[in-house]
Amino acid sequence: MSNHFVSLKAFLRDDDGVTAIEYGLIAALIAVVIIASVQLVGTNLSSIFNTIASELS
């Protein structure tokens, strides 16, 4: 019976899974920020190219 308690204590103290989840959440947040900024820059860049094209015509 005490072997089960030792195993349970070791499982509760093990925080490797928590660290992996935190790194996953940080990576997901960074990906969202990158996607949002690329979309914003792409929209603005498209607008600039359209303005230049209309001025050249």
d(CA 5, CA 8): 5
Q: Residue 1: what pLDDT?
A: 61
Number of domains in the chain: 1
Q: Residue 6: what pLDDT?
A: 84
Q: Residue 42: what pLDDT?
A: 84
Would you give per-residue pLDDT tens digits along the chain (57 residues)? 678 878 878 877 777 667 788 899 999 999 999 999 998 888 888 889 999 999 997
Q: Residue 36: what pLDDT?
A: 93
Structural domain harbouring 29:
2-54
Structure token pair of residue 3: 């072997």
d(CA 31, CA 38): 11
